[in-house]
């Protein structure tokens, strides 16, 4: 199972836009990283999510793009695939 961390920012967005984004991402099922999202809110209106899936990076990026487009706002995101290192 692949693990991903995604940070997404909507530009010129309000709380309703982020509620729309959250609802769309929960369908995937992305999980909101509340601690990181709260920290990020002080600097940028950025939200962080985690996802465990059998999908690859391309599919996760596509899911983020589709969710962000539902808000009607410009957006940017970063996706990181967690790759554990074993001794």
User: pLDDT tens digits, the chain, 87 residues: what are they?
Assistant: 899 999 999 999 998 999 999 999 988 788 887 655 444 444 445 689 999 999 999 999 999 999 999 999 999 999 999 887 775
By CB atoms closer than 10 A (0-12, 13-18, 19+), residue 60 is buried
The pLDDT, as a whole number, for residue 87 is 59
Q: What is the DSSP letter of 83?
A: -
The pLDDT, as a whole number, for residue 68 is 95
The pLDDT, as a whole number, for residue 34 is 63
The pLDDT, as a whole number, for residue 44 is 44
Which distant-in-sequence residues (6+ apart) come within 8 Å of 49 by Cβ? 5, 6, 7, 8, 25, 30, 31, 32, 33
Residue 9, helix vs strand vs coil: strand
């Amino acid at each position: 199972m692949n693990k991903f961390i995604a940070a997404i920012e909507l530009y010129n967005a309000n709380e309703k836009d982020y509620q729309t984004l959250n609802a769309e991402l929960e369908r995937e099922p992305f999980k909101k990283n509340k601690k990181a999202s709260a920290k990020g809110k002080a600097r940028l209106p950025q939200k962080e999510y985690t996802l465990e899936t059998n999908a690859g990076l391309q599919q996760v990026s596509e899911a983020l793009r589709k969710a962000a487009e539902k808000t009607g706002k410009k957006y940017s995101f970063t996706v990181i695939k967690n790759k554990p290192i074993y001794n």
